Amino acid sequence: MALAFASTACAYPDVPAAWQQIDRDRPAREPDVPYEPSSARAIDAMITLGQPGPSDVVYDLGCGDGRVVIEAVKRSGARGVCVDIDPKLVRRARENATRAGVANRIDFLTQDLFVTDLHGATVVMLFLWPEVNLRLLPKLLRELPPGARIVSNMHDMGSFAPTRAITVNVAMKPPHRVYLWSVPAP
């Protein structure tokens, strides 16, 4: 007895658009630090120390939702660059910048901060962990121009002495420091 099969191609439904987005929503690798937003007071201190102006380009390495660069660009007229390895956070940063009316002055990069080209930066904002700051320091000193400012919320850079520091008091949390360094001439 012969069986007859209809020769039809398997007709599986298309992959839902939300599923196609899944791989694009994953960071290329595990982030170096978990996302923790800077407080409004810490952002004020970071901008005060970094003193961005209209001719500056402010980078935030590990930008999260973009709040530091957005505020710096709004207050100073500088240009900004938001860098984060997590595509969802970069998307959120772009949305926040659009709502704030400054998205046209900010570039958004979904990439590893250790491979980001920093040559165009004049101010770099950080809210990373101490060991990440220390791993990043040689790159900062190699790629940033003399006089560029590096600002870190909460964590120092070991024996690389800061130019200045501000103590920040945030309700319900212990006080912490925000640090400024100026890149020395080679």
Confidence at residue 29, expressed as pLDDT on a 0 to 100 scale: 77
Domain 19-182 bears CATH identifier 3.40.50.150: yes
Would you call 18 helix, strand, or coil by DSSP? helix
Distance separating alpha carbons of residues 161 and 102, to the nearest angstrom: 34
Sign (positive or negative) of CA dihedral 176, 177, 178, 183: negative
Find, among 59, 107, 46, 116, the residue nearest to 85 by Cα. Answer: 116
Confidence at residue 5, expressed as pLDDT on a 0 to 100 scale: 47
Q: How far is CA 168 from CA 48, 158, 165, 179, in A?
A: 12, 20, 10, 11
Find, among 133, 171, 136, 134, the residue nearest to 152 by Cα. Answer: 133
- pLDDT grade for 55, boundaries at 50, 70 and 90: very high
CB atoms < 10 A from the CB of 114, how many?
A: 12
Would you call 113 helix, strand, or coil by DSSP? coil
Confidence at residue 174, expressed as pLDDT on a 0 to 100 scale: 87
Copy the structure tokens of residue 177.
């420091």
- pLDDT grade for 10, boundaries at 50, 70 and 90: very low
- pLDDT grade for 20, boundaries at 50, 70 and 90: low
Tens of pLDDT along 100-112? Answer: 999 999 999 999 9
Tens of pLDDT along 172-185? Answer: 788 999 999 999 98
Q: Phi/psi of residue 103, each to 5°?
A: -60, -30
Confidence at residue 23, expressed as pLDDT on a 0 to 100 scale: 54
pLDDT mean across residues, the chain:
89
Q: Average pLDDT of 139-160?
A: 97
Listed by start position, the domains of the chain span: 19-182
Residue with tokens 């398997």: 10
Q: Average pLDDT of 68-87?
A: 97
Residue with tokens 């990043």: 136
Confidence at residue 183, expressed as pLDDT on a 0 to 100 scale: 97
